[in-house]
Amino acid sequence: MTTPNTTWTRSEGDSWDIVSSVGFTALGVAAMRALETKRADRLVRDDFAEHFVREAAEPSLVQLVENPEAAEQGAFGPPRHMGVRSKFFDDFFLSAASAGAKQAVILAAGLDVRAHRLDWPQGEVVFEVDQPQVLAFKDKVLAGLGAVPKSDRREVAADLRDDWPAALKAAGFDPSVPTAWSAEGLLPYLPGAAQDLLFQRIVELSAPGSQIAVEAFRGAFDPSAFRQIEEKYDPEGSSPFAKADISGLFYNDERADPIDWLGERGWAVRDSSPIELSAQYGLEIPELPEELREISEKMRYFVAGLPR
Ligand SMILES: C[S@@+](CC[C@H](N)C(=O)[O-])C[C@H]1O[C@@H](n2cnc3c(N)ncnc32)[C@H](O)[C@@H]1O
């Protein structure tokens, strides 16, 4: 069991483990995927997610996965957002791989187990980039389960604020091969300059035919809005995420809009909001309070592709 060492203050070059700071967000996302997996009408199935939560033994998240019915009673109905998000990225990877992207790079992979879960084409190389402690925890759990990847999985322990392309190439990444990239649940955790550099590097490393799927906020983004919504709708702080002050981990300094930026560089972009995706996946859209609807509309899921 990992000893909780919870800190929520960001600083340049900070690092973290699975139960503290940004690492905890990977565990929280896994807990939400575990809940989605338990549903009869699940959008995605991730049988590994609950194992991560149990191994980390963070009490509030263990309680969450053990009481899925409690989550259903939340202020905004069943929490399906992570199912929607996971399906969007699952579909993206399978479609990009079948269109010829022979390598996939999952930036900030966290406890994402797509290398093990998805039915990749034979020989697909899947790189998972994240902080060393996060990947070490993931490895320990996967090894304990005797899990076998369905791809040629390569771990890349690197900080995305540093020279991650060097680490990626050292792991066997080939910039001449079309690549499927993803940035899921990542951008708000990067300072603006690091986000801009991330996209510049992706473009430099992308052969014709490469594609990228991204979760991004459009326009001005105020992290304190999340805190205000939490305080208003969960005044007792009963959500397992309330104590974590996730919004305190977000950066909102200036950065380029990746949709515009990639579009200007010849990438064809198509984007959707989580509400549009939910409707596309056949989910009932709950009546959302105005402030949540506003945030939801600013959140975009987009795929961008570079012509061959
Ligand atoms: C919210 S989790 C999302 C994980 C995964 N993409 C998913 O959706 O399950 C955020 C992830 O970003 C990683 N991360 C954030 N900033 C990073 C950085 N500077 N370098 C490497 N990883 C980073 C964290 O370690 C964590 O795993």
Asked if the model's pLDDT at residue 305 lies above 90, the reply is yes
pLDDT tens by residue, 24-49: 899 999 999 999 999 999 999 999 99
What sign results for the dihedral spanned by CA atoms 84, 88, 89, 95?
positive
- Write the Ramachandran bin of 74: left for phi over 0, alpha for psi from -120 to 50, otherwise beta: beta
pTM of the model: 0.93
Q: Is the CB of 31 under 6 A from ligand 1?
A: no
Tell me: pLDDT of 95 over 60: yes
**Of ligand 1's atoms, which has the minimum distance to the CA of residue 28?**
1
Instruction: Please indicate whether residue 186, judged by its CB atom, sits closer than 6 Å to ligand 1.
Output: yes
* Residue 281 confidence (pLDDT): 97
pLDDT number for residue 2: 39
**253-266 average pLDDT score:** 96
Instruction: Lowest mean pLDDT of 14-18, 108-112, 118-122, 170-174, name the range.
Output: 14-18
Rounded mean pLDDT of 151-180?
97
For residue 160 and ligand 1, the question of a CB distance below 6 A is answered with yes
| Chain Cα centroid distance, residue 115 | 14
Q: Is the pLDDT of residue 108 over 50?
A: yes
Answer yes or no: is pLDDT of 3 > 60: no
Is residue 43 within 8 A of residue 87, CB to CB? The reply is yes
CA of residue 158 to ligand 1 center, whole Å: 11
CA separation for the pair 117, 261 (Å, rounded): 32
Q: 52, 53, 189: which to mutate for ligand 1, most atoms within 8 A of CB?
A: 189
**Taking 80 as the threshold, does the pLDDT of residue 239 lie above it?**
no
Distance (Å) from CA 222 to ligand 1 centroid: 20
Mean pLDDT in residue range 199-224: 92
For ligand 1, is residue 28 a contact (CB within 6 Å)? Answer: no
Instruction: State which of 70-74, 132-136, 232-236 shows the largest mean pLDDT.
Output: 132-136
Ligand 1 centroid to residue 26 C-alpha, Å:
6
- The pLDDT of 75-81, averaged and rounded, is 78
How far away, in angstroms, is 18 Cα from ligand 1 center? Answer: 10
Average pLDDT value for residue range 211-222:
90
Closest among 25, 37, 24, 159 to 86, alpha carbons compared: 37
Is residue 245 within a helix (H) or strand (E), and if so which, with residue range? none
Q: Does the structure show a pLDDT above 60 at 166? A: yes
**Do 307 and 207 contact (CB within 8 A), yes or no?**
no
Instruction: Compute the distance between CA of residue 112 and CA of residue 54 in angstroms, rounded to an integer.
Output: 16
Of ligand 1's listed atoms, the one at least distance from the Cα of 110 is 27
The Cα–Cα gap between 214 and 208 comes to: 18
Q: Return the ligand 1 atom nearest residue 160 CA.
A: 20
Q: Say how far apart CA 257 and CA 262 lie, in whole Å.
A: 9
Query: What is the pLDDT, as a whole number, of residue 244?
Result: 64
